[in-house]
Amino acid sequence: MKTTTLEAPNGVFQWIVMRPWRVVIASLLAIGLAVTWLPDLRKDTRADAFLDPENPALVYRDRVKEQFGLSDPLIIAVVNESEQGIFNPQSLALVQWLTDAIDVLPNINSARVRSLATEKNITGTAEGMEVEEFFDPFPDTQAQADAIRQAIADFPLYQGSLVARDGKATLIVADLLDEDLGEETYDEVMAIVERAPAYDNEIHVAGEGAVIGYLGRYIDSDASRLNPIAAIVITLIILLAFHRISPALLGNVVILAAVLMTLGIMAASGVAFFVITNALPVILIGIAVADAVHIYSHYFELKGRYPDRDQRTLVVQTMHAMWRPVTLTTLTTMMGFLGLFFAADMPPFRYFGLFTALGVLIAGVFSLVFLPAALVLTNPRASAQFGAQKETAPEAFTRFMVLLGKLSQRRPRATVLLFCLIGGAGLISLSRFEVDEDRIRNFHPDELIYQADSAINRHLDGTSMLDIVIETNEPEALFEPAHLRKIEALQRYAHTLPYVRGSTSVVDYLKQMNRALNGGHSEAYTLPLDRDLVAQYFLLYSASADPTDFEEEVDYDYQTAMVRLNLNSGSFQDTRGIVLAMQDYIDHEFNSDTIQASLSGRVNLNYHWLKDLGRSHFIGVAISLLLVWLVSAALFGSALAGIYTLLPVAGAILLVYAAMVAMGISLGIGTSMFASVAIGLGVDFAIHTLERLRVLYAEHDKNLDRALAVFFPTTGRALLFNFLAIACGFGVLISSKVVPLSYFGTIVVVAVSSSFLASLTLLPALLKLFQPGFLTGASRHPQGRLQPLLRISTIAVLVASLGYLLLPGPATAAELETAESIVARVNSVDDGEFVTRKLVMHLVDRRGKARTRETIGYRKYYGKEKRSLLNYTEPANVQDTAFLTWDYPEIEKDDDQWLYLPALRKVRRISASDRGDYFLGTDFTFEDMKLEGKLSPQDYEYHLIGEDVIDGIPTYHMGSAPRSDAIAKELGYGRTEFWVDTRNWLIIKADYWDPKGQPLKSMQASDIRQVQGIWTRHQLRMQNHVTGHETRFEFSEVDYQTPVTDQLFTQQNLARSR
Amino acid sequence: MFRPLVLLLAVLLMSLTGMTWAIAAVPDVNLGGTLDQDIVITTNDGEPQKFESILKPRLQFTWPGLSLTASARLRGDAKAGLGYDNDHPHWHVELRELYLDMPLDNGHLRLGKQQVVWGQADGLRVLDVVNPLDYREFILGDFEDRRLPLWMLNWEFPVSANWTGQLLWIPDPTPDLLPASGSAFSFTSPKLVPALPSSLPVQLLRDSPPRSQLHDADYGLRLTAFLEGWDISLNYFYHYRDQAIPVRETSTTVARITPTYRRSHLLGGSVANAFGNLTLRAEFGYGNNHYFLTNDPIDYDGVFRSAELSTVVGLDYNLGADLLLSGQLFQSVLEERQAGAVRDTVEYQASLMLQKRWLNDTLFSKALYIQSLNDGDSLLQLEASYELTTYLQLQIGADIFTGSRAGVLGQFDNRDRVTVGFSYSF
């Protein structure tokens, strides 16, 4: 082994091997520290967690939830398959028993438990209308039970929603108070079901409320089952590779470090453990061990060859040879996962990508720091298959690799052709590829919850809800028969759509009341004809029953109503058409000036977060491929080599698409992230192969066959174990009970296997056929090759920072925007409840003379009122000057302003400046300062000019004109044009014209980045074209988190600034 | 000046600071200040009145929740035509401020040598009487520089949602500082200087007996509120008035003048509000136990006592952000009428100010005209400053007194002057 000139890493490894105990203890301490954070790890299994909390659909749904008190309920079904169904005293008593038992659970909203035992019948009497509970009196006899059957038969509203149309099932629907406690509540309900006097009735528990609870437990049991299996499998593979125990143990320390530290950091940074995070430990186990395999493999090679050499020297030599490939594969794997982070819109995916990348990094660092120290301490001897004996008696793995090598060397053309065919099949199958997701299909069909869901969907109208919120312009507008008929028509239309099995609304109640008051005749099950009658019906109802009975269907003012559709499928493919059809109907048939409808509810939410899944998947693949190409092209100093590197993974992914279509697996939550993972992992094989072959090619006098002959038994064998570790790690996922994870495991194993095979067959074949320039141009010695690494690191840093900047914000311009919606989005950009920041103002006159003012600014919202304080800190002659403003939301109310002048030591009340006046000598007006980048629709009319790209940033180009000449005069602007960044809705550029139409000013914003999650413009430049004066604002030390006290915005504080 | 209480306060401050230093370790330190250079030329003889350099360093230590501020003033005047008795004419070094700031309950405590300013009026004092003044250059120059900081405890505390209280305890008897006789701005107006019998030699005593710092401390209470757009304050100050009362004692052989200080209750208030471009400011104060000069030959001590009601009403008019026009009317009414009183029972002063900023606040100009409506004497101050760089500012100005020598302003009719200077910030 030659000593080389690369001193820097050697120095590091020398340091490590001289102080092994210190390094080992420090490593263990680092793991220990991360473990102390672990108890803070929070689980979030809600489906809502997949949507950004700011997503308009989610925000709207939550509002609706609050208004109508609707939540995703827990549904308990009592099923009786006998002749008379559930209408017998025993079953009904069970319903009563269950209702009572569930009602008292702490996390159940007892006011909103609905079942036959709580609901009321509406019948006509001589005096008018009677509203009575179905169970009043309680049905002790079969005759009474039959009477209830008849009552339900006369009350279409409950058919299908509360009681099965065939009478064989009925529901108890309970709302959770706190979805986060879903797991406990589910357990409690299951315990009640266990105790229930069921007799010949079946009891099922389902619904989103139950899924939440069940999934949490499911994940726990799945994780605690999978992780040990994975660890055992990996340990076995290491044992198999090296026939030694210490590598297996130490490999597990690296695994522990990667997994525990990643989860610890997740906990410390407040990121929750989502459903898909379950895959993270297993993936890290597979990846973490790969580095250890390569390092041990090389170490044992050396140890076998030079058994007498000093252990420390041997370890340093091992690390010297291995630090580069370990670093490179760590980087490329990270790139693969970061691709997921950059491309995904859904927070769980983004965090999954980010934290897996972090785990890969930790594994890489531990492999490079902890392993050498541990190697010095354990001093393992090489097993028989390493070293001198190897050439004479190759073991099975080596023989397998040699065979693989011969295959492609003898038939390069056939190998290439085969891969072309596979790629073609993948491309063709892409057209049949579909996105689908169904929460319930996350569970194995054997699971109770899956069966419960099927049973309920079979008997009743379904467990999936699509809500339609009907809004009118004034209170009591819903008494209007025309409006009610519209709602009735909407429901009738919904019923024509597939999977829509039933619906409920206030219309159904009115029809029932009309029928009750008209002698109970079924032909009278129609809407009352005039407004007064409707009002009277509600009055009558409230006289004989609790008026809050309708609170789920209509609001207190009879202005807003809710129509709830029951669907018996929750899958995206099935429900997408319904959401689109309903939206179309609402837009074209329903909405008018006086009544409008909007979609909400679980089904609508699912549509919104899944519709972009396919798009973000393919973007993710593209970004990952691009990143990997960049890194490998930089490594090899050749764009072509980058393409060679990509071929095996690209082929593998196409193969997976073909396999998914063939196996009927659709792209869902679990499966959509396979590609980024497969790329990150699969590319390692290609990089190792190309890198090693280049060196060997040069070492063997440019004879590719001889280079290949050396490659397969050495590097090839190490790659095989690398592959086995990863494949087995992911293979464990196949046994997951969480169905998408199982699919995910299968797919990744297929992908990694194919990229492994392609790297070791297709790449050598291609090299043999084309003898590309990057192969022949390789230098013989690896020294001086630090440069590509530097290039790669630079790219990595660049990509990471660029990606961070370009990251799709919470609101992306997925749909075409209107001027109004853009204004709304700009104005809803979060700018923090309060902020503290340094502001340096550079004031430059037309001759270039510059003056600087340094200030500290504070701002805080009090509802819509805004208070801000600007304290001058530099230079000393203006130091302590302070400007306090209280901005009121009412246009007609002048702002209150105070100025503290240190020369007077007095707080001076100053008149609210004209909004168009220039602010304290700058080129920004008081109004510009007040708006802080927001827009003012009460002053301007806005129009969308088009889309534009400014400095590579996609923007909406907007125009605005003041609503009146008076406003134009007051604000000093005749019109403006501005450009809104479509990704974060910040204004990045603006031009202003004076009221006479002359160009007045131009503004540019730059250095835009997130601070504590809030997009912040750090530099603003305003040029005044008339005076030639220019103002540049530089914001720094922006802090949205440290609370700003109310006392700051008082005159007392103003006077105290000195 | 090792007055025991000052020493006590200083020790307290230092030990608090030291303690905090020990606990909170390294503070945030901020050092800055200004260096001013002024050349003033009297217009009637073309002679320089002062050639003055002033260094005003300011040092601030900030710990979380606590800060200590110190500032000093070093003044060197090559001309030495202005000053006080016993003062080195060329050099003057002074600790201007030294105070500790800390939040206390929901309020704020400022402890140490400091300035407190009350009221809404500009330049005319009704409520702004907490700190004494330096009359070295009469009323020319910034109030900031003319106020004499006092050792005090200053506690601001919330009273209710709208009201805030301020409690002052000032165990520092420093009075107004008057220019030495013979210096450029020594008082000559009979409204300020007692008439003395020309037949007798006059003996000017240094001071009335020294006051006890604790017993004779000043107390102040202010309540402020922001109600319906109005800034309101109610003020009460129980204090020794800082202007000396020249109590005359005439024997057959000598006339003695003893500068005497008397305690007074001041009750007052102020309001301010903005209406469109107009800002209204007003303040009033009712003080008892004020003393005024009298020329009544039969008056035995040359002064008489009266309560005084003072009111200022001001109106500011903003024309855009750059132009400010401000007018004020000041009225002082004495409760007692006294034969031989040197001032009128009711006196009026008016002021008019025009202020404009140019070229993005690079250039600042101001004209202030103050006139006594009773005596007709007046002062016109013109001022312009230009910011050459961020740190360097050039200034030019003129102070023009007109009117009868007997008037408070007119007494300096021959002291009209032109000022040129610069101010450097660091």
- CB within 8 Å: A911 and B274: yes
Residue B133 binned pLDDT confidence (cut-offs 50, 70, 90) = very high
Given a cut of 80, is residue A275 above it in pLDDT?
A: no
Please check whether residue A875 touches B, CB under 8 A.
Answer: yes
Please give the Cα distance from A962 to A423 (Å, whole number).
58
pLDDT at B96 over 90: yes
Instruction: Report residue B126 CA to chain centroid gap.
Output: 11
- Rounded Cα distance, A116 and A95, in Å: 7
Whether cis (ω within 30° of 0) applies to the bond prior to A137 is yes
Looking at per-residue pLDDT, the higher value among A410 and A373 belongs to A373
CB-closest option in A875, A896, A902 to B425 = A875
Phi, psi of A963 (to 5 degrees): -70, -20
Does the pLDDT value for residue B199 go beyond 80? no
Length reported for chain B: 426
The answer to which of A26-30, A67-71, B401-405 has the lowest mean pLDDT is A67-71
- Is it the case that residue B245 has pLDDT exceeding 50? yes
pLDDT tens digit sequence for A1018-1037: 999 999 998 889 999 999 99
Residue from the list B58, B142, B389 with its beta carbon closest to the beta carbon of A903:
B142
Query: How much is the pLDDT for B305?
Result: 92
- Tokens 């003996």, located at residue: B203
Is there a contact between B33 and A876 if contact means CB atoms under 8 Å apart? Answer: yes
Supply the mean pLDDT for chain A: 81
Contact A923 B156 (CB under 8 A): no
Q: pLDDT tens digit string along B246-280? A: 888 888 888 888 888 999 999 999 999 988 889 99
A921 at B interface, C-beta within 8 A = yes
Q: Which two tokens stand for residue A664?
A: 């009927």
To the nearest 10 degrees (0 to 180), the angle between helices A739-770 and A717-734 is 160
Chain A residues near residue B110 by CB distance under 8 angstroms: 1056
- Integer Cα distance of A853 and A838 in angstroms: 11
Nearest to B279 among A879, A911, A923 (CB): A911
Structure tokens at B172: 């520092």
SS3 B214: coil
Lowest mean pLDDT among A199-203, A343-347, B65-69, B367-371: A343-347
Query: In this complex, do A923 and B360 lie within 8 Å of one another by their Cβ atoms?
Result: yes
pLDDT confidence of residue A809? 39
Subunit contact A850:B120, Cβ cutoff 8 A: no
pLDDT reported for residue B18: 55
Tell the burial category of B373 from Cβ atoms under 10 Å away from its Cβ (0-12, 13-18, 19+).
middle
Query: Which string of b and e fits A917-943 if b means at least 16 CB within 10 Å?
Result: bbbbbbbbbbbbbbbebebbeebbebe
- Distance CA(B334)–CA(A111), nearest Å, equals 75
Positive or negative, the Cα torsion across A368, A374, A377, A382?
negative
pLDDT of the residue at B230: 92
**Which of A95-109, A264-278, A615-629, B408-422 ranks highest by mean pLDDT?**
B408-422
Q: Determine which of A47-56, A723-732, A945-954, B106-115 has the lowest per-residue pLDDT on average.
A: A47-56
**Cβ within 8 Å, pair A876-B361:** no
pLDDT at B220: 96
**Sequence-distant (≥ 6) Cβ neighbours of residue A981 within 8 angstroms:** A953, A954, A955, A987, A988, A1008
Which segment of A52-66, A156-170, B341-355 scores lowest on mean pLDDT? A52-66
What is d(CA A689, CA A705) in angstroms, rounded to the nearest whole number?
A: 14
Q: pLDDT class for B113, splitting at 50, 70, 90?
A: very high
A839: burial class by Cβ within 10 Å (0-12, 13-18, 19+)?
A: buried
Asked if A897 is an interface residue toward chain B (Cβ–Cβ < 8 A), one would say yes
Is residue B296 helix, strand or coil? coil
Give the angle subtended at the CA of A969 by the CAs of A967 and A970, to the nearest 5°. 65
The yes-or-no verdict on residue A778 having pLDDT over 70 is no
Mean pLDDT of A953-965: 90
Question: Cα–Cα distances in Å, from A929 out to A868, A924, A1033, B203?
Answer: 10, 7, 11, 64
Confidence of residue A481 (pLDDT cuts 50, 70, 90): confident
Residue A465: strand pairing partners: A566
3-state secondary structure of A372: helix
Answer yes or no: do A876 and B69 touch at CB < 8 A: no
At residue B317, the 3 state secondary structure works out as strand
pLDDT (tens digit per residue) in A881-910:
899 998 888 777 888 888 888 877 888 888
pLDDT band at residue B70 using 50, 70 and 90 as cut-offs? very high
Testing the interface with A: which of B68, B317, B355, B390 to mutate, by most A Cβ within 10 A?
Answer: B390
Instruction: Compute the distance between CA of residue A842 and CA of residue A648 in angstroms, rounded to an integer.
Output: 55
Tokens 């409707």, residue?
A: A534
CA distances from A848 to A1028, B358, B360 (A): 9, 17, 13
Cβ atoms of B43 and B71 within 8 Å: the answer is no
Q: Which of B293, B306, B262, B290 is nearest to B196 (CA)?
A: B293
Would you say A363 and A687 are in contact if contact means Cβ atoms under 8 Å apart? no
ipTM: 0.85
Q: Looking at the complex, report in whole angstroms how far the Cα of residue A911 sits from the nearest Cα belonging to chain B.
A: 5
The residue that leads in pLDDT, B332 or A246, is B332
Distance in angstroms (rounded) separating the CA atoms of residues A145 and A141: 6
Whether B281 and A909 lie within 8 Å, measured CB to CB: yes
Both structure tokens of A436: 């689908």
Chain A residue at shortest CA distance from B164: A1052
Distance in angstroms (rounded) separating the CA atoms of residues A767 and A690:
9
Output the CA–CA distances (angstroms, integers) from residue A654 to A283, A430, A642, A747, B84, in the order listed. 22, 8, 18, 11, 95
For residue A572, name the pLDDT band (cuts at 50, 70, 90): confident
Contacts of A701 (CB under 8 A, 6+ apart): none
d(CA A387, CA A382): 8
Give the model confidence (pLDDT) of B181-190 as tens digits: 788 888 888 8
A78 phi/psi in degrees, rounded to 5: -105, 120
A816: pLDDT confidence band, cut at 50, 70 and 90?
low
Q: Which residue of A has its CA nearest to B68?
A: A1058
Specify the pLDDT at position A942. Answer: 92
Is residue A181 pLDDT above 80, yes or no?
Answer: no
- Say yes or no: A879 contacts chain B, CB-CB below 8 A: yes
- Mutation choice for B interface testing from A845, A911, A1022, A1057 by most B CBs within 10 A: A911
Q: Using an 8 Å Cβ cutoff, are B112 and B100 in contact?
A: yes
Percent of chain A with pLDDT over 70: 89
Per-residue pLDDT, B236: 96
- Residue A898: its chain B contacts at CB < 8 A? 231
Sign of CA dihedral B220, B221, B226, B228: negative
Compute and round to an integer the Cα radius of gyration of chain B: 23
Phi, psi torsion values for A988, nearest 5 degrees? -110, -10
Residue type, A476: E
Q: Is the pLDDT of residue B288 over 90?
A: yes
B203 touches chain A (CB under 8 A): no
Task: Provide the chain B residues 247-276 that lie in CB contact (below 8 A) with chain A.
Answer: 272-276
Check whether A19 has a pLDDT greater than 50.
Answer: yes
Nearest-angstrom CA–CA distance, A166 and A84: 9
d(CA A827, CA A837): 21
Q: Is B78 on the interface with A (CB under 8 A)?
A: no
Interface check A1026 vs B, CB under 8 A: no
Q: Which residues contact A407 (CB under 8 A, 6 or more apart)?
A: A415, A761
Non-local (6+) Cβ contacts of B187 within 8 A are: B135, B178, B179, B193, B411
Report residue A9's pLDDT band, with 50, 70 and 90 as the boundaries.
Answer: low
pLDDT at A834 over 60: yes
In terms of residues, how long is chain A?
1058
Three-state DSSP state, A550: helix
What confidence score (pLDDT) does residue A212 get? 66
Tell me: pLDDT of B97 over 90. yes
Residue A68 φ/ψ region, left for φ over 0, alpha for ψ in the -120 to 50 degree band, beta for the rest: alpha
What confidence category does residue A806 fall into, taking pLDDT thresholds of 50, 70 and 90?
very low
How do residues B207-236 score in pLDDT, each as one tens digit? 666 677 778 899 999 999 999 889 999 999
The CA distances from residue A938 to A429, A891, A994, B343, in Å, are 53, 9, 19, 58
Is the CB of B387 less than 8 angstroms away from the CB of A909? no
Q: How many helices (H) and strands (E) does chain B have?
A: 2, 21
Query: What's the pLDDT tens digit per position in A383-413?
Result: 766 654 444 456 777 778 888 888 777 888 8
Give A729 to chain B, closest Cα distance, Å. 51
| Distances from the Cα of A760 to the Cα of A308, A409, A628, A689, angstroms | 34, 10, 18, 7
Q: Is the pLDDT of residue B15 over 70?
A: no
* Of A447 and A313, the one with more pLDDT: A313
Write down the residue that tokens 């309560």 correspond to.
B307
B314 band by pLDDT with thresholds 50, 70 and 90 = very high
From residue A15, alpha-carbon distances to A24, A316, A454 in Å are 13, 10, 63
Determine the residue type at A77. A
pTM, two decimals, is 0.50
DSSP three-state, residue A122: strand
pLDDT at B77 over 70: yes
Put simply, the chain A residues between 836 and 865 with a CB less than 8 A from any chain B CB are 843, 845, 849-853
* pLDDT confidence tier of residue A1057, bands split at 50, 70 and 90: low
Q: Tell me the average pLDDT across A658-671.
A: 78
User: Per the CB < 8 Å rule, is B34 touching A876?
Assistant: yes
What average pLDDT score do residues B387-405 get?
91
Q: DSSP string spanning A20-84? A: HHHHHHHHHHHHHHHHHHGGG--EE--GGGGS-TT-HHHHHHHHHHHHHT----EEEEEE--STT
Neighbouring C-beta atoms of residue B302, cutoff 10 Å: 25
pLDDT (mean) for A1004-1011: 88
| DSSP assignment string, A907-920 | EEEEPPPPTTSBST
* CA dist B248 → A232, A990, B202, B258 (Å): 107, 74, 10, 6
Q: pLDDT value at position A163?
A: 87
Q: A–B: how many Cβ contacts below 8 A?
A: 126
Compute CA A478 distance to the chain's CA centroid, rounded to the nearest angstrom.
Answer: 39
Does the pLDDT of residue A283 top 50, yes or no?
A: yes
CB count in 10 Å sphere of residue A189: 25
pLDDT for A78-90, tens place per residue? 988 888 888 888 8
Q: Do the Cβ atoms of A1047 and B318 come within 8 Å? A: no
